[in-house]
Amino acid sequence: MTKFKFEPIFHLAKRTDIDWKKSWGIRLAAFILSILACAVVSTLISDRSFGFFFENFFKAFNTPQKLWNFFHDTAILLIIALAVTPCFKMRFWNIGGEGQILMGALGSAVIITFMGGKYPDPATIILSLVLSLAFGIVWAVIPALFKAKWNTNETLLTLMMNYISVCIVDYFIKSEASSGTGTMSFDKGVVGPIGNNEFILKIILVAIVTIFMVVYLRYSKHGYELAVVGESEKTARYIGINTKKVIVRTLILCGAICGLIGFMLVSATNHSINTASTVAGKGFTGVLISWLGHFNPLGMLLCSFLFVFIDRGATQVSTYARLGASYPDMMTGIFFFFIVATEFFINYKILPTHHFKKKAKAEEVEEDTTETEQTEDVLAETVPTLNENVVEDTNSAVTEAEDTATPVVENTKEVE
């Protein structure tokens, strides 16, 4: 006979449908908590007061110029996330947005280098847009073709191609501008500000792409097909979708948008190209934003907005407090940490085992919180966790804990 064992103290129950109010409440709470955590960490690592963080954080948004910058950064991040979203919806893990954008940037740089000043600006601009799109598409389609033809791993391939693109761009810069700084600047043949506002054009472009993407993913046949391919390749085969065609087509779209971003960055924003600062890791941040927004363009808009909000605020704080260049990264890291954690609380609810409570009264039971000998099936259900009720469970979980006679009520698992 085995020795007497105790039951788990807490259950984790998966919930399948959560009230949108509740889930947004959790998200809002996470956002506020993440700002507070940022402030606490800042106070700990600097000799400033707690209030200092908030005083300076909002200084990042107090002039029209700063606000425009804020919206512009949001727009750029959003369009990067939009570019990779169709791939992700298709379960094609394209993490090569960085390289595809850089190649797009190279397309513009090539045209501007050879045509800037010698030909009329409109011609240069149009040609650089075309070449940017072409370069972006080529860089995205290569892994798609490999995947379609030989079923290679797209994650590895796209990641590796990022490095190749960096080398190509470096080579181009070194051979054409031997200034030694690694940066190539342009003053002719680039897109200038419209009515003294250099941001408005890009923001409008991003708005158009956003609307296009909403319609494409939700209402077009292409969007439907790629969702089916992503959900189940077997189903796609069953209804006669040509999976290879869909993969290549989707990556062409992704590459085109990446090319457009490259063009925007070189010709309309930086007026220069540099392997380190042109894209500067935004290609990877875009992947994160796409995921956090659940591949929903509007969710991605919100995510990129909040991300840039924290990033710019933190940059401001670090400038005043001299906290160094890594400080904003830390703050955005804390933000992501909290946002990712919300997913757990949205998908699971924590319930105390009322069974256990009864026993605890009847006989003195040793606390035994570390038992995890569960099989996989149970793991989703009964994993002992934190000894606190979650914020959102105020109405259901707590009352049940009090009233041991009432059976646990959660959301339905299956509709019978």
Which residues contribute to the site for other proteins (CB under 8 A)? Answer: 1-2, 4-8, 13, 15-16, 219-222, 224, 227-228, 231-232, 234-235, 237-242, 353, 355, 371, 373-375, 377-378, 381-382, 407-416
- Non-local CB neighbours of 403 within 8 Å, separated by 6+ positions: none
Which is nearer to other proteins, 123 or 409 (by Cβ)?
409
How many Å apart are CA 101 and CA 275, to the nearest integer? Answer: 11
Query: In terms of Cα–Cα distance, which of 87, 80, 97, 79 is closest to 226?
Result: 87
How many Å apart are CA 49 and CA 321, to the nearest integer? Answer: 11
Which is nearer to other proteins, 198 or 410 (by Cβ)?
410
In the complex, minimum distance from the CB of residue 254 to other proteins, in angstroms, rounded to a whole number: 18
Query: In terms of Cα–Cα distance, which of 369, 342, 347 is closest to 356?
Result: 369
Residue 63 three-state SS:
coil
Give backbone dihedrals phi and psi of 141, rounded to 5 degrees, phi first.
Answer: -80, -25
In the complex, minimum distance from the CB of residue 367 to other proteins, in angstroms, rounded to a whole number: 16
In the complex, minimum distance from the CB of residue 256 to other proteins, in angstroms, rounded to a whole number: 17
Polymer length in residues for the chain: 416
Which is nearer to other proteins, 9 or 109 (by Cβ)?
9
* Burial of 42 from C-beta contacts in 10 A (0-12 / 13-18 / 19+): buried
Which is nearer to other proteins, 198 or 381 (by Cβ)?
381
For residue 126, what is the DSSP state?
Answer: H
* Residue pair 259/267 in contact by the 8 Å Cβ criterion: no
Which is nearer to other proteins, 198 or 233 (by Cβ)?
233
* Residue pair 183/272 in contact by the 8 Å Cβ criterion: yes
Q: Which two tokens stand for residue 330?
A: 């830390």
Q: Which two tokens stand for residue 323?
A: 């906290």
How many Å apart are CA 310 and CA 265, to the nearest integer? Answer: 22
Query: In terms of Cα–Cα distance, which of 223, 224, 232, 233 is closest to 253?
Result: 223
* Residue pair 144/100 in contact by the 8 Å Cβ criterion: no
In the complex, minimum distance from the CB of residue 306 to other proteins, in angstroms, rounded to a whole number: 26
In the complex, minimum distance from the CB of residue 365 to other proteins, in angstroms, rounded to a whole number: 12
In the complex, minimum distance from the CB of residue 305 to other proteins, in angstroms, rounded to a whole number: 27
In the complex, minimum distance from the CB of residue 212 to other proteins, in angstroms, rounded to a whole number: 12
In the complex, minimum distance from the CB of residue 14 to other proteins, in angstroms, rounded to a whole number: 9
In the complex, minimum distance from the CB of residue 232 to other proteins, in angstroms, rounded to a whole number: 6
Which is nearer to other proteins, 8 or 255 (by Cβ)?
8
Which is nearer to other proteins, 89 or 282 (by Cβ)?
89
In the complex, minimum distance from the CB of residue 79 to other proteins, in angstroms, rounded to a whole number: 22
Which residues pair with residue 352 across a beta bridge? Answer: 10
* Residue pair 369/384 in contact by the 8 Å Cβ criterion: yes
Which is nearer to other proteins, 378 or 390 (by Cβ)?
378
For residue 8, what is the DSSP state?
Answer: P
Which is nearer to other proteins, 13 or 341 (by Cβ)?
13
Which is nearer to other proteins, 282 or 354 (by Cβ)?
354
In the complex, minimum distance from the CB of residue 241 to other proteins, in angstroms, rounded to a whole number: 8
C-alpha radius of gyration, the chain, whole number: 26
Which is nearer to other proteins, 29 or 378 (by Cβ)?
378
Give backbone dihedrals phi and psi of 266, rounded to 5 degrees, phi first.
Answer: -80, -50
How many Å apart are CA 216 and CA 90, to the nearest integer? Answer: 13
How many Å apart are CA 391 and CA 347, to the nearest integer? Answer: 14
